[in-house]
Homo-oligomer: A and B are copies of this chain.
């Protein structure tokens, strides 16, 4: 499936007419628009790096993108924390235009890590209310 979809996005060097590629804005980085500060909707995952939760955070990010592909979620940011005060932290925030990021999960408040099911339901209720999450909507994961 991956990289084998029908869609084909060639490199300029693969284009039939090489002349066309010359002066191609695709190759002029001065025309590139850098990404906006905080896209909406987007997810931010903060975690205690001392606790070595990078791979857990990355996995959660992968799952959220597969359930809410763009443009439902436009970006996910991963923020490792390594100070004393952030020890043991694992937080998931949802950023929606017009308000500060809203907390979707906090390990200390919830007493543990997010089950994907519950986390997806909370996010769904904001970004795609009414969407069925299939498995994830059932009682037990």
Residues of chain A having any CB pair with chain B under 8 Å: 1-14, 24, 26-27, 29, 32, 34-35, 37-39, 42, 44, 46, 48-56, 58-59, 61-63, 65-67, 69-71, 74-82, 87-89, 91, 93, 100-101, 103, 106-109, 111-113, 116, 120, 132-136, 138-141
Contact = CB atoms under 8 A, between A and B. Distances in A.
A56 B59 contact: yes
A49 to B, nearest CB: 6
A49 B107 CA distance: 29
B3 A63 contact: yes
Given A3-B51, A4-B136, A11-B112, A70 B93 contact: no
A128 to B, nearest CB: 11
B65 A54 contact: yes
Contacts of A108: 11-12, 24, 26-27
